[in-house]
C-alpha cells in the first residue's frame, strides 16, 4: 500500500548533507534540516571538551547519525588523508557549515556535488573574520545581519546565496543581537538556503569589494577602553566586547572589566566620585551603576563590574563592604545545598568532586552551562528564579550556596527604586512625575532614547519630555496575586489621591474635583473590589447530565487562574480609571500585564507604576510602555507571547487590533469602542431632573465620555421648554468659559454647544462627537415605537437612556433599546461590581464585575465516567484546593 503525505515538505527535493560545525546553533540547524526531510549522512564536529560532547554531537549521536570528532583536518597546511577519506565515504551532496571553528581543506569544500555553504554573522563584505558581531557593535553600525555564502578559498569572500538584516538597537550587546535575530533567523535561513539549492534556485552573487573590511579576533590585551573619545564611541566599544573578551579600564587604580553599558539620556544621577584613568572627568558610583563621561561630556551607565580575580559585582555596590556575614544553614537548606552540588556535578562532569572552592567557570563552564544551571535550579529547588547574572556574581560553590539561600529566605536587599522625577508646583503642592518606561520593576529609558512632549491642555505648556517605548520587554512571571497585594495598592492610591488627581488634571484637562472623585476615586474602588476575587475564584462546578442511560458521564467544569501575559491599551479621557478597570481583574486572576497609556496622557500610569513597587508587587508583573499606538500598540497586537488584549478607543482602531490579534496567535480580545448613545426624554418626565441629567449625560467630563448621550430625542410637546432650560444653563457655562479663556489664552477647551432640529441623515446625528456637543431631535407625541426605531438606527450599541414617570413605558423602552447599558431616569451611573460594555460596533467583552473576571480565567470541562458519590467527592476536593504564590509558576 502506498502512503501519501499532504505536507509540502513531502514533495520538495531533498539532499544528502554533511554538517560540519558545532554549538547550539549547529544543533538547531541539524534538527530543522532533518525535520524538512533532508538526510544528514554525517556530522563532523569538535572533540569532547573536559568529557563533554558538543551539543551538535549529542543530538546527532542520539539520532544514530554518524558523528566524527576530528581534532584537526590538516597538518602544516596539508589535508590529513585519512580524515579526508572518512569524510568522502559518507557521500554528501552538500556541506552545510552553520558554525565552524576549524580550517576545512578545499578538497573537502569542493567535493560534494553542490559544494559548501557557510553562515557568517555580518552583512558581507563588511566585517569578514571571526569577530563579526563584535565589530558590528564596535563600529557603531546601524544595521546588523548575516550572510549565507558559497565557500571558496578566500576568507569569507565567496559568492552570496542569501542575506538578511535587522536594525541595531542603541543598547544592543552581542548577546541580545544574537538571541533576538542572528540565532533564530539564522537557523531559518540555513534551512531555506539548503532548500533553494535542492530546488535548483540558489543564486551565486559575487561579493563586492566596496566597503569590505576584515577585523581580527579581539583579545583581552587589546580591549582596553580609550576614555578620551565621545561617549557613544566608548559605549560601542564596551558593548562590542560584552561578554567576551570584556572591555576594561583602570578605575580607582584597579583593572575593572565593564559589562552592560547603556547610553544615559536623562539627567545624570548623583553618586560618589571615582577616578577613571584617561577620562575627562571622574566617574560616579550611583544607585543605578557606574556613570562614565566621554570627551563630549555626555554620560553612559555600566551595570556590572568584574575584578581581575573573576569576581563580578553590581557597579552600584562598588563602595559597599566587601564581605557579608556567612549564613548558618538549616538542615533543610543543607539538604538543598547537596542537591545543588549534584546539579553542579552533572554540569561540571570533568571535575572529580565539587567542594566549596570549586569555581564554576574556571572548571570549564560556558554561557550555555549558565542557562542549564538556572533552569535546573528552577525545576528542582523550590522554584527559585535566578538570573544568569547571579551565576556570574557568585562563581564558587560556597558563594553560590550563600547567594541561593539568601534568595530562598527572601533576604536579598532589593535595590531602591531609582526614579528620574520631573516636578511641578501646582494646586498648593509639588507633584513628582516619573517620565520613563516602567519595565520589570524599573524606570528605564527607551531603547533608542527617543522622547516626545506631553502637553497641559489648560495652557498649552509642555508638562515634560517623555520617553518613548520602541519595543516591548517584559518578564513573564506566572503569579497568583494575594488579596493583600491589591489591597495595599488601593491603600497607596488613596494615600496619594490628591497628587494623582492633580497629575490627572494637568495631563488630561479634567476638572480637579471630578478627577479626585471619579478618575481616582473609582479607580481605588475597582482595585478593592477585585482584591476580593483573588482567593474566591470558583474552581469547580458540576453539571447534571440529562442522559439517564448507564453510559452517561458526569460533566465537571473547572475554572482556574490563567497566569499569562495580557496587553492593555487605554484612552486619554479617563487615564487612571481605564487603567484600573482593565488591569485590576487581570492581576486578580494571576496574570502579568503590559499597559500602553494614551500617548498624550501617560503621567498617572507611571505614577501608578511607582506605587506598585511600594505595594510590593513583584518585578515584571506590571509594565508601562508609553508611546504611539501605531508602534507600541501594534507590537502588542502582533506579539506571540501575549494571550489577551484589552482595548478602549475608536472603532476603526479596534478593528485593526482585532485583525492583528487574529493573524498573530488568535489572542483573546475585549474591545470597548465608540458610541452614539441615544437618550429618550418623554413628556411625562421630571423636567428638572431630565434637564439636569440630560446635560450631565452630554457635558460630563467635558463631553469626553464613551457613554455620553450622543443624541437626545425629546418629545415634541416639551421640546421647546426643554431647549430653553438647557440654553439658559449653557449660557452660564459659556460665561465661565469666557473667564477661563482670559486666564488661559492657549488652552484647548471648547465651549458647550447645542444643536437643535437635527435630522436623522445628518453627520452629527450619526457620528460620535466626543466633546461638549448636545445633539437634539424631536419626536411626535406618543410615538414610542417610532422613536425606538430611530434610536436603534445606529451601528453603535454602548449605552442608552430613558426619562419617564411611567414605569411600564420605561420597561417597554429599556427592553427594546439595543445597548449594553440602559439608564432609566438617571445617567452616567456605573458600579465596579456590574459589567460594562456594548455590542454591535461598540465592541464586545465586559469591563468590571464577575463577568470581566471570567475573561481572565481558563474554563475547562471534564467528562468523568464515575459514580455520583465519587463525583461529589471529586468536586469537594477541587473546591478546597487553594491557589498559592510560587515564584516558579501557578500551582493548584
DSSP 664-712: HH--EEEEE----EEEEE-TTS-HHHHHHHHHHHHHGGGG--TT-EEEE
| Phi and psi torsions of 111, nearest 5° | -65, -45
One of 610, 706, 818, 857 is an active-site residue; which one?
A: 706
Distance CA 136, CA 598 (A): 36
Tell whether residue 677 is among the known ligand binding residues: no
Q: Give the chain's radius of gyration (CA, Å).
A: 33
Q: What is the length of the chain?
A: 892
Closest CA to 636 of 604, 605, 609, 658: 658
DSSP for 327-357, written as a single string:
PPPPHHHHHHHHHHHHHHHHH-TTSS---TT
Calculate the alpha carbon distances from 489 to 497, 524, 883 in Å.
12, 9, 21
Which residue in the block uniquely carries the three cell numbers 498573530? 664
Residues contacting 525, CB < 8 A, separation 6+ = 832
770 is in an annotated binding site: yes
104 is in an annotated binding site: yes
Distances from the Cα of 131 to the Cα of 124, 248, 640, angstroms: 13, 18, 32
Q: Scanning the structure block, which residue is given the C-alpha cell 464586545? A: 844
Place of cell 539620556: 265
Please state, in angstroms and rounded to a whole number, the distance separating the CA atoms of residues 78 and 754: 93
Q: Is 768 marked as binding a ligand?
A: yes
Name the pairing type of β-strands 677-681 and 709-715.
parallel
Q: Is 314 annotated as a binding residue?
A: no
Catalytic residue, chosen from 28, 444, 504, 672, is 672
CA-nearest of 847, 169, 183, 187 to 472 is 169
User: Is residue 155 part of an annotated ligand binding site?
Assistant: no
In whole angstroms, give the CA distance from residue 134 to residue 138: 6
CA pair distance 376, 391, nearest whole angstrom: 13
Measured CA to CA, the distance from residue 774 to residue 752 in angstroms comes to 8
- Residue partners of 863: CB distance under 8 A and separation at least 6: 553, 554, 555, 556
The verdict on whether residue 137 carries a ligand-binding annotation is no
Chain-centroid distance, C-alpha 698 = 37
159 CA to centre of own chain: 39
* Residue located via cell numbers 430611530: 790
Residue 545 marked in a binding site: no
Which grid cell sits at 847? 469591563
* 802 labelled ligand-binding: no
525 has binding-site annotation: no
Task: For residue 354, say whether it is annotated as part of any ligand binding site.
Answer: no
The C-alpha cell of 367 is what?
554561557
Angle made by CA atoms 856, 859, 862, in degrees to the nearest 5:
165
Check whether 457 is labelled as a binding-site residue.
Answer: no
Q: Is 572 annotated as a binding residue?
A: yes
Q: Write down the catalytic residue from 38, 100, 120, 504.
A: 120
64 is in an annotated binding site: no
Give the C-alpha separation, 121 to 147, whole Å: 6
What torsion, rounded to 10 degrees, do the Cα atoms 56, 62, 68, 70 define?
Answer: 50
Catalytic residue list contains 672? yes
Chain centroid, CA 217 distance in Å? 35
Q: DSSP string covering 580-620, please?
A: HHHHHHHHHTT-EEEEE--TT--HHHHHHHHHHHHTTPPTT
Active site residue 100: no
**DSSP of 52-87:** B--HHHHHHHHHT--EE--S-SEETTEE-HHHHHHH
615 annotated as ligand-binding? no
Asked if residue 570 belongs to a known ligand binding site, the reply is yes
Active site (annotated) includes residue 818: no
Annotation-wise, does 675 bind a ligand?
Answer: no
Annotated binding residue 596: yes
Distances, alpha carbon 107 to alpha carbons 96, 114, 483, in Å = 15, 13, 70
Structural contact between residues 207 and 149, judged by C-beta atoms closer than 8 angstroms: yes
Q: How far is CA 641 from CA 10, 252, 721, in A?
A: 30, 44, 58
DSSP-based three-state secondary structure for 506: helix
Residue 850 grid coordinates = 464577575
HEC per residue, 572-587 = CCCHHHHHHHHHHHHH
Q: Is 631 annotated as a binding residue?
A: yes
State yes or no: 460 annotated in a binding site.
no
- Residue 630 labeled ligand binder: yes
SS3 448: coil
Residue 633, marked binder: yes
Residues at the annotated binding site?
Answer: 102-104, 156, 570-572, 596-599, 629-634, 649-650, 768-770
Residues at the annotated binding site for (6R)-10-formyltetrahydrofolate?
Answer: 102-104, 156
Residues at the annotated binding site for NADP(+)?
Answer: 570-572, 596-599, 629-634, 649-650, 768-770
Catalytic residues: 120, 672, 706
Amino acid at each position: 500500500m502506498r502512503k501519501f503525505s499532504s505536507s509540502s515538505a513531502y514533495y520538495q527535493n531533498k539532499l544528502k548533507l554533511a554538517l560540519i560545525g558545532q554549538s547550539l546553533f549547529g544543533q538547531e540547524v541539524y534538527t530543522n534540516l532533518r525535520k524538512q526531510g533532508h538526510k544528514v549522512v554525517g556530522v563532523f564536529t569538535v572533540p569532547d571538551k573536559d568529557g563533554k560532547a558538543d551539543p551538535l554531537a549529542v543530538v546527532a549521536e542520539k539520532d544514530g547519525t554518524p558523528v566524527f570528532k576530528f581534532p584537526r583536518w590538516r597538518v602544516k597546511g596539508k589535508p590529513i588523508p585519512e580524515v579526508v577519506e572518512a569524510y568522502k565515504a559518507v557521500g554528501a551532496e552538500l556541506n552545510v557549515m552553520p558554525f565552524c571553528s576549524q580550517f576545512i581543506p578545499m578538497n573537502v569544500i569542493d567535493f560534494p556535488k553542490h559544494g559548501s555553504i557557510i553562515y557568517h554573522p555580518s552583512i558581507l563584505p563588511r566585517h569578514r573574520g571571526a569577530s563579526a558581531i563584535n565589530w558590528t557593535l564596535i563600529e557603531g553600525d546601524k544595521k546588523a545581519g548575516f550572510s549565507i555564502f558559497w565557500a571558496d578559498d578566500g576568507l569569507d569572500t565567496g559568492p552570496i546565496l542569501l542575506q538578511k538584516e535587522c536594525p541595531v538597537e542603541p543598547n544592543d550587546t552581542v548577546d541580545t543581537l544574537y538571541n533576538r535575530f542572528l540565532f533564530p533567523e539564522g537557523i531559518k535561513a540555513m534551512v531555506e538556503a539548503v532548500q533553494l539549492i535542492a530546488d535548483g534556485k540558489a543564486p551565486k552573487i559575487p561579493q563586492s569589494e566596496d566597503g569590505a573590511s576584515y577585523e581580527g579576533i579581539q583579545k583581552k590585551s587589546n580591549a582596553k577602553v580609550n576614555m578620551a573619545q565621545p561617549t557613544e564611541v566608548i559605549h560601542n566599544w564596551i558593548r562590542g566586547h560584552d561578554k567576551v573578551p570584556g572591555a576594561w579600564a583602570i578605575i580607582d587604580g584597579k583593572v575593572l572589566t565593564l559589562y552592560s553599558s547603556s547610553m544615559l539620556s536623562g539627567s545624570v544621577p548623583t553618586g560618589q566620585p571615582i577616578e577613571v584613568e584617561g577620562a575627562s572627568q571622574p566617574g560616579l558610583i550611583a544607585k543605578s551603576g557606574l556613570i562614565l563621561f566621554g570627551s563630549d561630556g555626555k554620560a553612559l551607565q555600566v551595570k556590572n563590574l568584574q575584578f581581575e580575580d573573576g569576581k563580578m559585582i553590581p557597579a552600584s555596590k562598588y563602595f559597599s563592604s566587601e564581605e557579608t556575614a556567612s549564613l548558618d544553614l538549616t538542615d533543610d537548606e543543607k539538604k538543598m545545598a547537596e542537591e545543588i552540588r549534584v546539579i553542579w556535578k552533572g554540569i561540571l562532569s570533568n571535575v572529580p568532586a565539587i567542594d566549596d572552592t570549586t569555581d564554576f567557570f574556571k572548571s570549564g563552564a560556558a554561557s550555555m552551562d549558565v542557562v542549564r544551571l538556572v533552569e535546573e535550579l528552577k525545576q528542582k529547588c523550590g522554584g527559585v528564579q535566578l538570573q544568569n547574572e547571579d551565576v556570574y556574581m557568585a562563581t564558587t560553590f560556597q558563594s553560590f550556596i550563600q547567594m541561593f539561600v539568601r534568595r530562598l529566605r527572601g533576604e536579598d536587599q532589593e535595590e531602591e527604586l531609582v526614579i528620574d522625577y520631573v516636578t511641578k508646583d501646582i494646586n498648593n503642592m509639588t507633584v513628582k512625575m516619573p517620565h520613563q518606561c516602567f519595565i520589570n520593576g524599573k524606570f528605564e529609558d527607551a531603547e533608542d532614547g527617543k522622547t516626545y512632549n506631553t502637553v497641559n491642555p489648560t495652557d498649552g505648556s509642555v508638562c515634560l519630555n517623555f520617553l518613548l517605548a520602541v519595543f516591548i520587554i517584559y518578564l513573564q512571571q506566572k503569579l497568583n496575586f494575594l488579596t493583600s497585594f491589591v489591597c495595599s495598592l488601593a491603600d497607596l492610591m488613596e494615600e496619594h489621591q490628591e497628587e494623582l488627581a492633580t497629575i490627572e488634571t494637568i495631563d488630561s484637562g479634567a476638572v480637579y474635583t471630578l478627577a479626585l472623585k471619579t478618575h481616582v476615586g473609582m479607580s481605588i474602588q475597582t482595585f478593592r473590589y477585585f482584591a476580593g476575587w483573588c482567593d474566591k475564584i470558583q474552581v469547580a462546578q458540576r453539571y447534571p447530565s440529562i442522559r439517564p442511560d448507564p453510559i452517561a458521564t458526569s460533566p465537571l467544569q473547572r475554572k482556574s487562574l490563567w497566569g499569562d501575559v495580557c496587553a492593555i491599551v487605554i484612552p486619554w479621557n479617563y487615564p487612571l480609571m481605564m487603567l484600573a478597570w482593565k488591569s485590576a481583574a487581570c492581576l486578580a486572576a494571576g496574570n502579568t500585564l503590559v499597559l500602553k497609556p494614551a500617548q498624550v496622557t501617560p503621567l498617572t500610569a507611571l505614577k501608578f507604576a511607582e506605587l506598585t513597587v511600594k505595594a510590593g508587587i513583584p518585578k515584571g508583573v506590571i509594565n508601562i510602555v508609553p508611546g504611539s499606538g501605531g508602534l507600541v500598540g501594534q507590537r502588542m497586537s502582533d506579539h506571540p507571547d501575549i494571550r489577551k488584549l484589552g482595548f478602549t478607543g475608536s472603532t476603526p482602531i479596534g478593528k485593526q487590533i482585532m485583525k492583528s490579534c487574529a493573524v498573530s496567535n488568535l489572542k483573546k480580545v475585549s474591545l470597548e469602542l465608540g458610541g452614539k448613545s441615544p437618550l429618550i426624554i418623554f413628556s411625562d418626565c421630571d423636567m428638572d431632573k431630565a434637564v439636569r441629567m440630560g446635560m450631565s449625560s452630554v457635558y460630563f467630563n467635558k463631553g469626553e465620555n464613551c457613554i455620553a448621550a450622543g443624541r437626545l430625542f425629546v418629545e415634541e410637546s416639551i421640546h421647546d421648554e426643554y431647549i430653553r432650560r438647557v440654553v439658559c444653563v449653557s449660557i452660564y457655562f459659556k460665561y465661565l468659559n469666557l473667564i477661563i479663556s482670559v486666564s488661559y489664552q492657549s488652552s484647548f477647551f471648547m465651549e458647550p454647544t447645542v444643536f437643535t432640529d437635527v435630522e436623522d441623515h445628518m453627520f452629527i446625528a450619526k457620528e460620535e462627537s466626543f466633546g461638549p456637543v448636545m445633539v437634539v431631535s424631536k419626536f411626535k407625541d406618543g410615538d414610542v415605537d417610532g422613536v425606538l426605531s430611530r434610536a436603534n438606527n445606529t451601528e453603535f450599541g454602548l449605552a442608552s437612556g430613558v426619562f419617564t414617570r411611567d414605569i411600564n413605558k420605561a420597561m417597554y423602552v429599556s427592553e427594546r433599546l439595543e445597548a449594553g447599558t440602559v439608564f432609566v431616569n438617571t445617567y452616567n451611573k456605573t458600579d465596579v461590581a456590574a459589567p460594562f460594555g456594548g455590542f454591535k460596533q461598540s465592541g464586545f467583552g465586559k469591563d468590571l464585575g464577575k463577568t470581566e473576571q471570567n475573561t481572565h480565567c481558563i474554563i475547562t470541562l471534564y467528562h468523568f465516567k464515575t459514580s455520583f458519590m465519587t463525583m461529589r467527592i471529586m468536586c469537594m476536593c477541587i473546591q478546597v484546593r487553594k491557589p498559592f504564590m510560587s515564584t516558579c509558576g501557578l500551582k493548584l
